Chain A
Amino acid sequence: MAVETEATIEERTQAFRDHVTSGGKVEMTDWMPDEYRRSVLKFIEMHANSEIMGVLPEREWINRAPSVRRKLALTSKVQDEVGHGQLLYRLAEDLGKPREQMLEDLMAGRTKFHNVFHYPTHTWADVGIIAWLVDAAAILSQKALLTCSYAPYARTMQKICWEESFHIKHGYDIVLSMMNGTEEQRAMVQEALDRWWGPLMQFHGPPTPVEKDKDLAWRIKSKGNEQLRQEFLSMYVPRILDLGLSIPDPNLRYDEETGRWQYTEPSWEELRSVVTGHGPRSQERLAFRRLNYDQGEWVRQAVMTAS
């Protein structure tokens, strides 16, 4: 009996694998192998974590936005990110992990969030560079999720990508305004770019052979790390240079022969260290998240007992 069941699961898993590799979709109520469920959950959970940790560096500037227009745009952008977090945590909850557990794991450092949100912000120019280039790097990854085999995630990504494209415009507009401004404003943007370039180049992760990338095999994502980084460079290097900014990598160049960008190898050691909680602001941000979460505990309790 046991052997027969095992064989059945194996067969079902193979059929499932064939289904997703040929572009088939999976709904929340469909049968799926445990490994697939775990992989999708982990992927979505990290995405959700990144959304709500990503709001912390930007919200530091909500009170300091230099005009009414920027104030409204930034509050609205951060609000979008919180909204994405909420949508994504709901998706992850459907896959079997309660929201409280995900938040606990995040705050305890048991789960991860994107490298770029472990770094400090220094000036208003950081707000522009984050919204423009960090969001640009993120949207490339996110667009590669529109064809995700897990259909509820793919559908949610349509809304998220739509909103992210406005964030990029908002960020570009900040950068452009400053580049058209005073000498000091231009210097602020250059300094911000210099600070963010390293983390941006690490953002998509080290090149990984297709056969070793399980998320690719399950068609959770459709593009590999290096492909995304190449796309980012192709799209944004010309735009950055057009603005009169310089990129802090003397080895950066487009190789006509191979059709690929050459660049100084990003520090994968730094990336590993940062995402495991050793970045310059990792612990401070997690502690801040924890502080606010704990202070809100009585509110959540009051809502639960009232309803």
Chain B
Amino acid sequence: MHPSTHAYEHGTDQLLRPLLLSLADDDFMLGYRDSEWTGIAPMLEEDIAMSSVSQDEIGHARALYEISVEMGRRATSDEEYGGSPKTIAREVDALAYGREKTEYHSSWLAEHHRGDWAFTIARRYLYETADEVRLEALSGSACTPLANVLTKVRREERYHTMHLRTWLDRLAASPAARPRLLAALHSLWPDALGFWEELEGEDSLVASGAMPLSSEAMRERWLTRITAELEEHGISGPDAGLTPRTGGRRGERSPGFEEFWAEVTQVYRLHPGATW
């Protein structure tokens, strides 16, 4: 079966939804959280850099939401896809801001408040390295629109990880900053492991080739990589017996999400569907 035909088959959109939305929601939540540094980061230069990174993440989320919107339309209509840019944007917004909280698939790792700079760097490091492994694997997805978008996304992500690694080096090397970094990593390990929680319908996603690797296989790959990298800084990886904190992929939201989401959707909710 030709992969692109396969991707648009009736019913496939429902199968692919948890995969597409877990990717999109992660980028969306993290993009929002890190955009909270805009205007108040510790240095003007980093303020500008962090704004760019968070805009990239939201841009990636938008591209992924668009795939989901497009697939949903194709699945419910035999006609060629013909939405105007405005209509697509409105549907993307509905997906981004208008779902019930239990309908989001984001990881808790992505949802947390930015915390202090050490927390932001530690979280981003765990997230970016995990995302790197995930995007690498999904570039070979049988879902062609996804694989195509990820090629572009990965180009931008390279710069994010470069930026992140510079900060990891700096914080790890500074006697005053190192304890903050270690504390942040320590508090984040359960969520970083939970990032790899099995997706809804994962068996079928793997069997259809939409996911070339299972979440568990990707987690192992990621752990091997970052354990080696952290070791260079004299930092140990997560304890072997540590329980991953899961739930995000099944619609459970992290502590603090309620308040955050009330703020994010405050204006949107005034008139859902209105043009602003």
* A interface residue numbers (CB < 8 A to B): 52, 55-56, 58-59, 62-72, 75-76, 78-79, 81-83, 85-86, 89, 124, 174, 177-178, 180-182, 184-185, 288-289, 292, 295-303, 305-306
Contacts and interface: CB of A to CB of B under 8 A. Distances in A.
B116 interface: yes
A296 B93 contact: no
B77 to A, nearest CB: 24
Contacts of A305: 174-176
Chain A interface SS verdict (over half): helix
B267 A306 contact: no
Nearest to B46: A299
A107 B2 CA distance: 63
Contacts of A288: 40
A61 B118 CA distance: 25
Contacts of B264: 63-64
A181 B274 CA distance: 7
A83 B275 CA distance: 30
Contacts of A177: 275-276
A79 B52 contact: yes
A302 B177 contact: yes
A131 B16 CA distance: 40
B62 interface: yes
Interface in B20-57: 32, 35-36, 38-48, 51-52, 54-55
A56 B61 CA distance: 26
A151 to B, nearest CB: 23
A63 B37 CA distance: 11
A300 B55 CA distance: 24
Given A52-B44, A63-B263, A302 B51 contact: no
B257 interface: no
A68 B177 contact: no
Contact of B42 (A58, A62, A300): A300
Contacts of A182: 271, 274
A69 B55 CA distance: 11
A173 B263 CA distance: 23
B32 A306 contact: no
B93 A63 contact: no
29 contacts: A58-B39, A62-B36, A62-B38, A63-B36, A64-B264, A64-B267, A65-B267, A66-B270, A66-B274, A66-B276, A67-B89, A68-B92, A69-B89, A71-B32, A71-B35, A72-B58, A75-B51, A79-B51, A81-B39, A85-B44, A86-B45, A180-B275, A181-B275, A182-B274, A184-B271, A288-B40, A300-B42, A302-B177, A306-B173
Contacts of A52: 39, 44
B180 A298 contact: yes
Most buried by A among B54, B169, B275: B275
Contacts of B177: 298-299, 302
B48 A82 contact: yes
